[in-house]
Amino acid sequence: MKYLVVGLGNIGEEYTGTRHNIGFSILNKLNQRHDSNFDLEKQAEVSSFGLKGKKINLIKPSNYVNNSGKAVNFWLQKKGIKKENMLVILDDLALPFGKIRIKKGGSHGGHNGLKSINEHLGDNNYPRLRFGIGDSFSQGRQSNYVLGKFNSEENKELDLHIDHSCDAIESFILQGLEKTMNTYN
């Protein structure tokens, strides 16, 4: 059984550690857990490892969040992975900081990464893990907030929340979507 785990984020040093790049941060931690390395390949940084007989492929698209659907579609096809065995990791303004929500399908909720994936796959019927970044920004400052770094209070708990997200990803792979939703939502 093969899986594709997609972390959404923007490439470039200036985006490292930003709220919008939480998908990259979570995949970096998961990759580290399994002693694997990312290599830059076509349209993404890619890593693979085994987990209890299952083949896990991680990708961090290299064509920015708002065009990440192109890389997702390419790697799904290249690896021959079904959409139900894909999990997309993204930031979510509608959830409190650190809270995660796992589900299959649903709207893009204004997230340009999901919009792009929906366009390239032709539907929105795939699992995703939304990581709450909160909404502590003034009117008109959403972009600055999303592209900003976590504050000192958030940083105190960030590693714990990232580990929790990695546990949820492993549960999705080993236990399936329903059990993972019941455990982590």
Residue among 71, 70, 67 nearest 58 (CA): 71
Q: At what angle do helices 112-121 and 68-79 cross, to 10 degrees?
A: 40
Q: At what angle do helices 22-33 and 152-175 cross, to 10 degrees?
A: 60
Q: Is position 20 annotated as part of the catalytic site?
A: yes
- The DSSP code sequence of 71-95 is HHHHHHHHHT--GGGEEEEEEETTS
**Which of these is catalytic: 20, 34, 108, 164?**
20
Residue among 121, 107, 5 nearest 61 (CA): 5
CB 141 within 8 A of CB 12: no
- Whole-angstrom distance, CA of residue 45 vs CA of residue 25: 13
Active site residues: 20
